């Protein structure tokens, strides 16, 4: 059974970097047929798909203009996990962040969610 366990701080100061990690059990971040994703959700914007790491490639959702150029998603094969970094955060980045696995076109497994508040 696949399980995704998120970790990371719930409070980040403006202009700093938001860093979250998603530890994988029951699957591998290295598999070439599986993508490892980050989403965020807020009442004002709904569910936003931020991007993924997929084998040797990355995808960042260009439609989310507010995160363009600030986001990095990286795999860590030694720890079987992947991470999200969002630089230069503002209060507008306050949201619940989720990691998720994509396979066969669907997102069937999700992390528990991390509420990240950007505030001084």
Partner 1 sequence: EIVLTQSPATLSVSPGERATLSCRASESVTSNLHWYQHRPGQAPRLVIYGASTRATGIPARFSGSGFGTEFTLTISSLQSEDFAIYYCQQSNAWPWAFGQGTKVEIK
Provide the binding-site residues for partner 1, judged by CB under 8 A.
Answer: 39, 41, 46-47, 49, 59, 61, 98, 100, 104-108, 110-113
Nearer to partner 1, 63 or 119 (CB): 63
Q: How far is the CB of 46 from partner 1 (least distance, A)?
A: 5
| DSSP percent split of the chain into helix, strand, coil, nearest 5 | 5, 55, 40
Q: Please identify, using beta-carbon distances, which residue of 52 and 118 lies nearer to partner 1.
A: 52
Nearer to partner 1, 33 or 78 (CB): 33
User: How many H helices and E strands in the chain?
Assistant: 0, 11
**Contact in structure between 81 and 21 (CB atoms under 8 Å):** yes
* Residue 105 C-beta: closest distance to partner 1, Å: 3
Contact 85, 71 (CB under 8 A): yes
Token pair in block for residue 36:
């490892």
CB of 98 to partner 1, least distance (A): 6
């Amino acid at each position: 059974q696949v399980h995704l366990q998120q970790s990371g701080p719930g409070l980040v100061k403006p202009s700093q970097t938001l860093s979250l990690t998603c530890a994988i059990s029951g699957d591998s971040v290295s598999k070439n047929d599986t993508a490892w994703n980050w989403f965020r959700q807020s009442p004002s914007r709904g569910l936003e798909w931020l991007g993924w790491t997929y084998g040797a490639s990355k995808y960042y959702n260009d439609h989310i203009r507010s995160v363009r150029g600030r986001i990095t998603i990286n795999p860590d094969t030694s720890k079987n996990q992947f991470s999200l970094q969002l630089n230069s955060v503002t209060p507008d980045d306050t949201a619940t962040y989720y990691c998720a696995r994509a396979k066969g076109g669907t997102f069937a497994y999700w992390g528990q969610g991390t509420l990240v508040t950007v505030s001084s």
